Structure 1
């Protein structure tokens, strides 16, 4: 053995920098980890080695430093030894510590996958993470919306591993709009402040919403199909019988559609196609109850058939009637009409062969009124939004007892025509054959005779040209304010 010289000194102390009293070398998983061992004293400088789990990983004189970039969790609790060895001085010193890491939470795991529930149920789902130090905290999200306030958390310490398990339970009320959205649980702690997440879509089952497309057809169309569109989850639907109702909801008929949600309207004679107007109600279900506990859901749409005007009630296509009155009286000939679209041409005629087109005058008043008219749709009596056409004839004479015809047009098909026969009933109130609207003037002077002649000329002119009348509605009577007078164009 060599003798120590005056310049030779033993190592006074060997230590790890930044270690704790309990011999821990603290670090954070996933970050750079530094180990430095320093020998105090010693001449010549001692040769140092760092071992991790008995494997030499770094060497140097007097001090040695090791950086692990980054450190993984498998080195947690690993034994680290620093050895000072100098064969010249024949000494061997060592010190030990162990690595102690803040550990990230491991990937969260849901307790159920997939997540399927009904809209009327509350979502209850848990998420668990293990292997964290310190304990992890959970945050919950629904399609990016933070819903953590609806959750609870429980922490469990595992003494054998010195790690934590966190279990979080979410209780949340979902709606159908949440169907297909991602639910996310995210665990984080100081080792991983950003956190680690798990996500999965949720399936919310809900009763379907029913939509029926509004449709417009021409009375000549050979194909008329109405579509019922259901939107629910699951998307397997059962379609029930359709219902055809009037605009005020009266049931007209029930019809069987296809299991694709289509209803094909049967073809009838084109003169009866207007009877398909109305509301069509579709009923369907997917086995899921709505919030009121109803499985069969309904929706409706409007069907419009553009056809020529129809006179009501349309019984076996007989568009005619008979009215009785007496000479000298005033009579009103009324006709009830259903027209979609509304007629744009109204013409009254007098005579079997329509010899005279009637215009508004002192003799004749023509008006139309919006009204509810009764009709028959597929053998069911219904109330319809229609019109009442009125021809008022003043001061009847024997010549007025004849046939009157009403023609309406709306650019669909040939003009619709209704015939009213005015017949004389019993004895007339006035035993005269002349039109009582012409006043009888009696006078003895020449001036009086001239006045009579002038008056007669004026009356004849009025009867030939007609006179436009305007009715001032009475604000107290709603029915009268709905009456419209019109002047026919020759």
Structure 2
């Protein structure tokens, strides 16, 4: 509102004529929205957006329309208050003010910034696994880190370089090697917004599954041992995602029908050079009391609806060797010849050991191991003896299971001349 004065001056007038008028210009509200800085629009921060109004006559009201949870206002302003702000608050907000002259509006688009939510999908075509990382955040420009591969038991296995579009392709050489690629694939991605827990890169994961024939894991023992006239068992461990497995065991093309037990303890296998837990089934074939004919090679076939795999076990006697028999010693002036008849080797290669000492000392000097030559009689010459000394001799044998009992010769020996 403003006061204006008009003045007229004339020679015919004794004094100027004046008149005053009050100028009252009325207008609808003029609105200004104060936009906070960018960091105020990051999710989980406190934010306030205010709308200021100026009008004549005074405004009847000034309000916000939109996803308004709470606003504070007076006769000249209204403020949106978020404590904290959330991604669901992203939308267009309208500030509306009115008076007797008219209605005014001002619009603002609040784009809330938040770290990505990440999901991962995959497809298997032939022996190829195609993985695709799907981040959803604001802003939507992303940086992809290396993928993590983990076993199904959440053991980190390795990092794999993918593309900067969030894709990863795994190519296997066969169904068996493809099965080694199953597990948890983790995509790590950032859009520059730090999450509430302080992490810059967010993760999404998928558990890649592939059904295949049973696989005999690498920790199986190809050579297994049993003991003569004792209960004989063969144990193998299978990797299989399918519980229904058909089993067959045979030797010399003769199918056997032993009692079979199964279990699912957790074990490990070596995939890509890393030791990882796997889904496994432990199979035990109970063959009964062992006879000599039982220590042969066995072929095990394991099948499910996806196919079959085979594994051969070499069953060997697991006894310690029997001690040598009929030990004889012929002693000369500077050497001796020891002979013996080898005992049963226990089902494995055996090695002989000869111990000797002279009558004046208590410690034994050991010669060996000497490999069994599988002859009916074993002979061995020991040199560098002390002249005119009497010697005592002890012999034993050893295989992968253990040592035989020791056979000792304690009697004094006659020294023979080579002449």
With the shorter chain as reference, the TM-score category is 0.5 to 0.7
Specify the alignment match of 2:89 in structure 1: 178
CA distance in structure 2 between the aligned counterparts of 1:406 and 1:344, rounded to whole angstroms: 16
Instruction: Return closer, same or farther for 1:296/1:426 CA change in 2, 3 Å cut-off.
Output: closer
In the alignment, which residue of structure 2 is the partner of 1:356? 255
Instruction: Report how far residue 150 of structure 1 moved.
Output: 3.3
Map 1:83-482 → 2, pairs under 5 A: 105-106=28-29, 108-112=31-35, 117-143=41-67, 146-147=68-69, 149-153=70-74, 155=75, 166-172=76-82, 173-179=84-90, 181-188=91-98, 196-213=104-121, 215=122, 217=124, 221-313=126-218, 321-340=222-241, 342=242, 344-353=244-253, 355-358=254-257, 364-413=258-307, 415-426=308-319
How far apart are 1:425 and its partner, in Å? 3.9
Structure-2 residue corresponding to 1:67: none
Name the CA shift for 1:332/1:292 in 2 (closer, same or farther; >3 Å).
same
Distance 1:400 1:320 in 2: 18
Deviation, structure 1 residue 260: 0.3
Q: Deviations over 1:452-477 (max 9, x none)?
A: xxxxxxxxxxxxxxxxxxxxxxxxxx
Distance of 1:425 and 1:205 partners within structure 2: 69
Partner of residue 375, structure 2 = none
> Which whole-Å CA distance do the structure 2 matches of 1:222 and 1:278 have between them?
15
TM-score by length of 1: 0.55
**2:132·2:166 contact (CA, 8 Å) conserved in 1?**
yes
Q: Distance in 2 between matches of 1:135 and 1:278?
A: 65
Structure that is richer in helix per residue: 1
Distance 1:351 1:240 in 2: 53
Change (3 A) 1:426 1:175: closer
Deviation at 1:336, TM superposition (A): 0.7
Q: Deviations over 1:10-42 (max 9, x none)?
A: xxxxxxxxxxxxxxxxxxxxxxxxxxxxxxxxx
Query: 1:107 Cα deviation (Å)?
Result: 5.2
SS at match of 2:265: strand
Separation in 1, partners of 2:228, 2:37:
89
Instruction: Determine if contact 2:127/2:174 at 8 Å carries over to the other structure.
Output: no
Distance 1:392 1:140, change over 3 A: same
Contact 1:346 1:406 in 2 (8 A): no
Q: Is the 8 A contact 2:124 2:130 kept in 1?
A: no
Cα–Cα, structure 1 residues 427 and 278, in superposed 2: closer, same or farther, change >3 Å?
closer
Check conservation: 1:343, 1:408, Cα contact below 8 A: no
Q: Partners of 1:371 and 1:231 in 2: how far apart? A: 40
Segments of 5+ residues of structure 2 without an aligned counterpart are 4-20, 322-419
Distance 1:243 1:322, change over 3 A: same
Alignment size in residue pairs: 300
Which digits, 9 at most, give the CA deviation of each residue in 1:405-449, with x for residues without a partner? 221122435x21122232234499xxxxxxxxxxxxxxxxxxxxx
Residue in structure 2 matched with residue 472 of structure 1 by the alignment: none
